[in-house]
Amino acid sequence: MTSKASAGKEALPAGIDRILIPAPRIAGRVEELGRQISEDYAGRDLLLIGVLKGSVVFLADLVRRITIPCSIDFISLSSYSGTTSSGVVQLLLDLQKNPEGRDLLLVEDVVDTGLTLSYLFQNLKTRRPKTLEVCAFLDKPSRRKTAVKPKYVGFQIPNEFVVGYGLDFNERYRNLPHVGVYKEPS
């Protein structure tokens, strides 16, 4: 007979040590964030900017919980390889339209050292938006190397490498409905 604990373990895909945030908790929090953003940005010109690719799943759910008119655009940067940051941020894909004078909300998967966000902030500030804020699905405050502070945070998490709900390890695991802690398969 299989124990409950080992049965749970067996259900996890290879490479996932444990589930950190189950799908129903994510859905509840995304709904709260959508409600808050809808209140805060009512009557304004909200443009959600998804940072590819990690924020795609979060952005897709979040935008459907926002009840005011808004639009979306995407930007893509690179700095991670495997589980470590290269420390060098590169712009791979820029916004389609000029965001000048608009209320920008950057949608990030996870803020870790904050270096990516600092780069993005500086870059977008030069385009003269009306306002610029950040909504991060996950936040690892213990790892921060910069002063950036997201206005909205889904969940604060400990210093662990996580995957799922859009977050990858070498392009895998983005499709998991929950957030799990990654562990090198033995």
- Tell me the closest approach of the beta carbon of residue 35 to ligand 5GP, in angstroms: 24
Answer yes or no whether residue 154 interacts with ligand 5GP by CB under 6 A.
no
| Beta strand spans in the chain (E) | 16-21, 46-52, 70-81, 84-93, 103-111, 131-139, 152-156, 162-163, 179-182
Angle at alpha carbon of residue 155, lines to 58 and 112, rounded to 5°:
85
Amino acid at 30: V
Distance CA 138, CA 152 (A): 10
**Three-state SS sequence of 76-102:** EEEEEECCEEEEEEEEEECCCCCCCCC
Answer yes or no whether residue 139 interacts with ligand 5GP by CB under 6 A.
no
- Looking at the Cβ atoms of 69 and 177, the one nearer to ligand 5GP is 177
Distance CA 99, CA 73 (A): 10
Q: One symbol per residue from 16 to 55: x for binding ligand 5GP (CB under 6 A), - otherwise; what is it?
A: --------------------------------------x-
User: Which one of 7-15, 36-44, 94-102, 165-173 is the stretch in contact with ligand 5GP (CB under 6 A)?
Assistant: 165-173
Active-site position among 61, 103, 109, 112: 112
Backbone angles phi, psi at 155, to 5 degrees: -145, 140
- Tell me the closest approach of the beta carbon of residue 136 to ligand 5GP, in angstroms: 9
Size of the site for ligand 5GP (CB under 6 A): 20
- Looking at the Cβ atoms of 38 and 113, the one nearer to ligand 5GP is 113
**Interacting residue with ligand 5GP among 58, 102, 116, 134 (CB under 6 A):** 116
CA distances from 66 to 20, 48, 97 (A): 25, 11, 21
Give yes or no: 112 in active site.
yes
User: Which one of 9-17, 37-45, 61-69, 112-120 is the stretch in contact with ligand 5GP (CB under 6 A)?
Assistant: 112-120
Burial of 51 (0-12, 13-18, 19+ CB in 10 A): buried
Which parts of this chain interact with ligand 5GP (CB under 6 A)?
54, 79-80, 85, 108-117, 161-163, 167-169
Catalytic residues: 112
